[in-house]
Structure 1
Amino acid sequence: MILQLWNSHMSRPSPELLKPRKTPRQTRSAVTIEAIHTATIQVLLSDGVGRLTTTRVAERAGVSVGTMYQYYPHKQALLFAIVERQLDLIVTAMLEAAARLKGRDLQSVAEGLAAAWLEAKMADLVSSRAIYGIATEFNLEELMNRAKHLMVGAISPLLRSVPDARFADPDSAAFMLAALLGGTVRVVMEAGTAEEDLERLRQELPRACLGYLQLVACETPARGLASGA
């Protein structure tokens, strides 16, 4: 097992080799990229990662292989782009939720962040599960560090704005809250997508987030003191 994990790590392509050759600058190019990404998920689901090729994806997307190579030099670069795109969707959802929830009470913050994460992941359950399956193929340290920095940078000031709780270390609380959200959702979704389990997740994840935040809150100001009475 150790040797297998070592070989898997050693065979991972370096991040420099996974960068797209160019990024879309026009609407037509953006549409092409979206078609390629959608086709990639479809081929993953129908044929599996082992049989996925740039040729199969190009055929499904309705573009030429030459067009594919304008953006992605090889299969690994294409798959990495899919993983990166999914992570960006999560980060964007959390940043928007943090901005929307600023100044709300602790329960609203906990429930709002949990709902935003679940909504982003469950918008396309099948695709999300397929992406979990290929994410282990890559070294995601750089992507994850960037995502962590952005989410902690948004959630930490949000926690500082909560009127009914205070945190000695908002950065640590924000980090652990993001880890709680990401780890819990991944475990459930990788195990399957039974509706009863997803419903439990919708009900219990906000409670788990609120419970954690209540546990680490170091001060809950009295209503009269908070209002200056």
Structure 2
Amino acid sequence: MNRPAPALLQPRKAPRQARSAATIDAIHTATIQVLLAEGVGRLTTTRVAERAGVSIGSMYQYYPHKQALLFAIVERQLQSIMSAMLVAAQHLEGRDVATVAEGLAIAWLDAKTADRVASRAIYGIAAEFDLGEVMGEAKRQMTQVIGQLLAAAPDARFADLASAAFMLTALLGGSVRMVMETEDSEDSLACLRQELPRACKAYLAAANWGAAQGAPCLRD
């Protein structure tokens, strides 16, 4: 698949005024609506502009083509999730390891399922892009945030803090993605909401007290 690089998909300009920001919000909302109603194959910038109530000229001021618009939707979703996790991290700072594990798991689930319909639509278009750089930066930020929380936990005894933060990031991301990209049923999400915090707490408990016997698996 010939996927355009992120550098070729950046918007022409960023909104600088409240009116421009409102236009962008309307465009993004309309894009999700068209995706859900007609699918990515029938989505065009003209259809989105009509649904958003903006001129095609206004659309092109920001997004030169369909691919740039869809990429912006994916990026916005990632930024929204990261923002939610940063807020959660502020509330968890200085708490014990078990509380941090449970709090992060719940916050991650809340962020990923805040709008399940839109999230599934976004998962459907994400495969069209080369997201290695974007996802790599998101992973780096998450690992850093988790590492800082674990380092500040009063009962932290991690011999390999970096590996613990990396593994918790992978555990959160991989488990939710597996469910959201497949059935996304009420039962599976309810099970995930019950079991993911337990899994995170169990892993960190083992890493916190047992890692001293093993060598670090991540190196600078």
TM-score, reference length from structure 2: 0.92
Identity of aligned residues (%): 68
What 5-or-longer segments of structure 1 have no aligned partner?
A: 1-7, 221-229
What 5-or-longer segments of structure 2 have no aligned partner?
A: 212-220
- Aligned partner of 2:166 among 155, 162, 175: 175
Structure 1 match to 2:68: 77
Structure 2 match to 1:224: none
Paired AA for residue 157 in structure 1: Q
Matched, 1:93 2:74: no
Structure 2 match to 1:116: 107
Structure 2 match to 1:53: 44
Q: Is the 8 A contact 1:111 1:206 kept in 2?
A: yes
- Please provide the CA RMSD for this pair: 1.3
- Aligned partner of 1:63 among 54, 68, 81: 54
Q: Is the 8 A contact 2:98 2:204 kept in 1?
A: no
- Distance across 2 between alignment mates of 1:177 and 1:162: 15
Aligned residues: 211
Q: CA deviation at 1:219?
A: 6.4
Matched, 1:44 2:35: yes
- Distance across 1 between alignment mates of 2:57 and 2:118: 26
Matched, 1:200 2:191: yes
Q: CA deviation at 1:75?
A: 0.4
Structure 1 match to 2:131: 140
TM-score, reference length from structure 1: 0.89
Structure 1 match to 2:214: none
Q: CA deviation at 1:177?
A: 0.8
SS in 1 for 2:209: strand
- Distance across 2 between alignment mates of 1:109 and 1:218: 16
Q: Is the 8 A contact 2:98 2:205 kept in 1?
A: no
1:5-40 Cα shifts (integer Å, max 9, x gaps): xxx1xx111222100000011111111101101110
Paired AA for residue 176 in structure 2: V
SS in 2 for 1:207: helix
Structure 2 match to 1:129: 120
